Amino acid sequence: MMKVCRQQVFLHMLKKYLLTALIAGCFINQASAQRWNLKTVVDYAMQHNIGVKLSEVQARISALDYRQSKLSQYPNLNFSGNTSLNSGSNQDPTTFNRITQTYLSAGLQLQSSADIFNFYSKQNTIAANNWELQAAKANIDKIRNDIALTAANAFLQILLSMEQQKITGVQVQQTKAQLFNTQKLVDAGALPQLNASQLEAQLALDSVNFLTAKGNVTQNILLLKSYMNIDAAAPFEIDAPPVESIPLESIADLQPDYVYNMALTNQPLQRYNELRLKAAEKYRLAARGKMYPTFSLFGSLGSGYNNQAQQVIGISQTTINNV
């Protein structure tokens, strides 16, 4: 009976693992079958690039700095306690008298402090951290914009290198055909051997160019994978768009002033720089406020205990005799 139960458990676990492997294989096949066009490459890079993720982490850090600076306006409250065993000549923590005995002491203390006026140093620091937070968010858009341009350029470089590989491949085939025909003429005595040797040298040069172009394709694909934060060993296929369907705007129709003003308005880099300048100005005012005195309020409460503070020094006993 126990043996049958073990077999059933084993079969159940085997089915479970096989199902998991089958599902994983389906996902792998789906990923390997995916073809990347320009839009999917740019969208994926904007979401998964390491630089974008780092800028998002920096934005969260700026949010924590802003929150911490706001909380620094409120009074602080500290509570502490201690206990100790004292022996020999020491100071009684309750009476502050010098005593010579062994005793157990304990103490509790509550402290609080608050800044009354510090010449707007904290207020300017809070404002500066707020601008820094807004700048960090704008930096995320800036990094995404830069990554989009970089990924798009890498995608176009892949297309260019693939076309160069095709051209060099055709050149190799043409040179091979010329060498084949020339070799026949040389064998027939119609041409000297020099012509065939020249074509052999040209074929070797064309083969080198083909291998160089093929290596450029691989290198550009690896570069794009690094921008997209994809494993270098993952399958990657490019979906080349038809050239005739790509919309092109005439450069002559673009006015330089209009392009410049649009860039100043919409580019995240400009907004990021403006916010950093505002933050720097608030930091300057905050540092200037620290040159002046700070008015603060402090308060403290404490309590001490000594187990030898009260002692029984004698016993009086009264006896009543019955008559």
Q: Sort 58 into a burial class: Cβ within 10 Å, 0-12 / 13-18 / 19+.
A: middle
Q: How many domains does the chain have?
A: 1
In a domain, 319, yes or no: no
Averaged pLDDT for residues 264-286: 91
Q: Which residues pair with residue 297 across a beta bridge?
A: 114
Domain-embedded: residue 197: yes
Could you tell me the pTM of the whole model? 0.69
Does residue 98 lie in a domain region?
Answer: no
Is 232 part of any domain? yes
pLDDT digits (tens, 9 = 90+) for 171-206: 999 999 999 999 998 888 888 999 999 999 999 999
Range of the domain at 206: 37-74+119-303
Domain assignment present for residue 159? The answer is yes
Confirm whether 3 is domain-assigned: no
Tokens of 62: 């700026």
pLDDT band for 248, please (50, 70, 90 cuts): low
- The answer to whether residue 144 sits within a structural domain is yes
Block residue for tokens 């001490």: 304
Q: Which residue has the higher pLDDT, 73 or 253?
A: 73
In this predicted model, what pLDDT tens digit does every residue of 147-175 receive, in sequence order?
999 999 999 999 999 999 999 999 999 99
Looking up residue 248, the CATH number of its domain turns out to be: 1.20.1600.10
For residue 318, being part of any structural domain is answered with no
Q: Is the pLDDT of residue 61 over 80?
A: yes
Q: In what order do the strands lie in the sheet with 103-117?
A: 76-86, 103-117, 295-306
What is residue 246's predicted lDDT score, i.e. its pLDDT?
66
Measured CA to CA, the distance from residue 49 to residue 151 in angstroms comes to: 10
Per residue in 3-56, pLDDT (tens digit) is 444 455 444 554 554 445 444 444 444 444 478 998 999 999 999 999 999 999
Over 70: is that where the pLDDT of 313 sits?
A: no
